[in-house]
Chains A and B, each alone.
Chain A
Amino acid sequence: MPENGNVERRTILRVAGASAAGLGLTATAGCGGDSDAGDGSVTLRYAWWGGEPRTLAIKKTIALFEKKYPKIRIKPEFTDYAAFWEKFQTQASGGNPPDVFQNAVGFLRKYDKRGVLMDLKTQADAGNLSLENFRNGVLANGQVDGKQLGVPVGANTMALVIDVKAFAKAGVEAKFGWTWDEYFAALQTIQDKLRIAGDTGYFTIMYLYDLYLRQHGKAFFTDTGLGFTEDDLTQWWADGYKRVKSGLVADPKKIEQVSPKSGLSAGLAASEFTWDNFSIRYEGEGESDYGLAPIPTTNGKDTGQYLGSLMLSAFSGTKHPKEAAQFIGFMVHDPEAGRIMGYDRGILATTEQYDAFKPTDPNNKGVAAYEDEVAKAGVLGKITPHPSGADVVEAAFLRIGGEIAQGRTKPADGAKALFGEAEAAFAG
């Protein structure tokens, strides 16, 4: 079945150029169905990235949905993360993205600016999708300039993953409200006693620097640019490099070598900062026991944390906006779908789904307990804004941080380079 140019390219360009929502609706009017069978049913393309467990779970939820909405068929498309975005950009620029797709905060403004994302609020207003019952205010993660560009499926937050055995052996403990000084002192003890590095390279992680800045009343991004100065960043990287040289942070050459394995699971260091829902990989890769520990603070209380989200978005030019909205609504609200998905994409975002699923495996239990604890500590703030180009800046931050760790770039030069690249990214 050739997927012929059903929506004319001109239409797409027009849609892309104008405000997405209204035209997204008009685009359906009078369009014959390309992928639609004669029986009045419609077909939606749904794309996501992720591993096999996610894919198998999603396929089950799709079957559930199709049973409940017999007039809507879902065509799944899936790959791994890197391939997903390459493919998505090509498809979207060719006017042919999937109708519904998994999305992340960092891409919202980028693809909104390019007119790809549908404002789902209009669909909610039309009664095709409920935006109620989201937990801890995560619904805001999908909002940009008053538009609802994505609907969160889960929530996650940054965490410190530690090698539990190493921490115990060195006799150090991670506790809520500990400060950076206490954290680095603990790493020093580990280095002295166990002869391994304390951390795998914290200063190259953009989302950790964001938390650090938030602890100081700033943030990595503003709505339109960077929320810190070159001097701030120079200091952050200079401190980091100092700790590489002293051996507190693992040798970047060794870390590079074991990739795609993490330096933590390879036993090169005793801790690593990452998103809590990624923590399952360490058990799979490494031989030690791993646990989630609190983010160090500046004032003894505030971690600067917030809940991030994976979400579902719809294409502004889809011919079936109503069905796309119904599908998204089902995926985030249906209790049975929540039970099937579990915490694969973060702690379930709506109360219906959250209540329907109680984790039984230790990893999911750990993540749930961690987020509970963070929420109870009252440290969760509003999410840092992500301007268009945030994904490019994150990659540049990691790359330049790596050059600094290797001693190839001076922190001040690196900071200058990052500001230059960020400017281009925001403009693009």
Chain B
Amino acid sequence: MTLVEESPVHAVRKRSAAPGAGRRGRRQENLAGYLFMSPWIAGFLLLTAGPMIASLYYAFTSYNLFTPPKWVGLDNFTTMFQDPRWQKSVEVTLKYVVVATPLKLLLALGVAMLLAQRRRGQALYRAAFYLPSLIGASVSVGFVWRALFSDDAVVDRTQKIFGIDAGGWIGNPDYVLYALVALSIWQFGAPMVIFLAGLKQVPRELYEAAEMDGAGPVRRFWNITLPMLSPVLFFNVLLESIHAFQVFGSAYVVSDTRCGPADATLVYTCYLYQKGFKESQMGFASAMAWTLVVAVALVTAVLFWSQKKWVHYEEAAK
């Protein structure tokens, strides 16, 4: 897959031959490229590739971190696929990804469009909306979330107005995952900032022209904002999906470290963590990790493939 050729904003533009083209020029370009890349290459080999290969090997072994790994072939994978807790963690994670990602991006886009307007106190608003994301998945977030979604707390009372009595979300295995989703949505600062930057890049002449053609706000959004924003949207969808698949911290603090009750917030990495670090089954945990890598890689590939259909790069829109 040639990601580089597909994703750059200017990919569609026919490139002019680089100055100094020719073999010598190419060799120089190669040299420059690798020089610029050298920190990354060193980091990749040392901190990523090595550990990655190690974990790939562990995935086919029984390994408790102390005695040398013992080769067991596909055992970890067959055990894993039959493990009801693993199945549960997949179910929980998929539910989380599918619900949390779109809602978070929707809110981020909505607020970004609001903030893109030049108003008094804009900077203050921007910072205020970003505040939740600054807090991170800290212990105090754990406290506040458990308090907000408890029986008779603000969420429960609001819900009761609409005639639903869940008795609080935190202790209820049917609801608690949505408290987690709410936390994810609440911390929408990162995609919001990226959307904002994207909105700033939309040339305003386009809007002016559209307005002269009598296009209303809705049509301006569909015909100009969305297409022009699609590369940034793509970036956000990709990153937020990957992050959602790997969610850990928020599940950990909201469930007070147990990813419960009744495994209701047992997201994939939480189970992986329990297996690897609490039960010392590093082989199993590595098998889980690589299964996740393959699954997310598939999702990523589908997204990259789909961007041809819906991501508009600058040239096409003009």
Contact = CB atoms under 8 A, between A and B. Distances in A.
Contacts of B278: 392, 395
A425 B171 contact: no
Interface in A65-115: 82, 86, 89-90, 92-93, 113-115
Contacts of A425: 279
Interface residues of B, number: 26
B280 A428 contact: yes
Contact of A257 (B150, B279, B281): B150
B67 interface: yes
Contact of A253 (B66, B168, B256, B263): B168
A141 B46 CA distance: 44
Interface stretch (A40-48, A171-179, A401-409): A401-409
Q: Give the dominant DSSP class at B's interface.
A: loop
A399 B167 contact: no
Contacts of A258: 150
Contacts of A16: 66-67
Interface in A317-334: none
Interface in A222-260: 251-260
B261 interface: yes
A379 interface: no
Contacts of B151: 253-254, 257
A424 B171 contact: no
Contacts of B150: 257-258
Given A254-B151, A403-B262, A114 B64 contact: yes
A89 B171 contact: no
Nearest to B276: A89
Interface string B149-175: 011000000000000000110111100
Please classify how large the interface on chain A is, using the bins under 10, 10 to 19, 20 to 34, 35 or more: 20 to 34
A257 B258 contact: no
B146 interface: yes
Interface in B54-90: 64-67, 84
Contacts of A402: 260-262
Given A16-B66, A255-B171, A428-B279, 5 more contacts: A17-B67, A82-B257, A253-B172, A254-B171, A260-B256
23 contacts: A16-B67, A86-B277, A89-B280, A92-B66, A114-B64, A114-B67, A251-B171, A252-B171, A253-B167, A254-B171, A256-B261, A257-B151, A257-B170, A257-B171, A259-B146, A260-B256, A395-B278, A399-B258, A399-B260, A402-B260, A402-B261, A425-B279, A428-B64
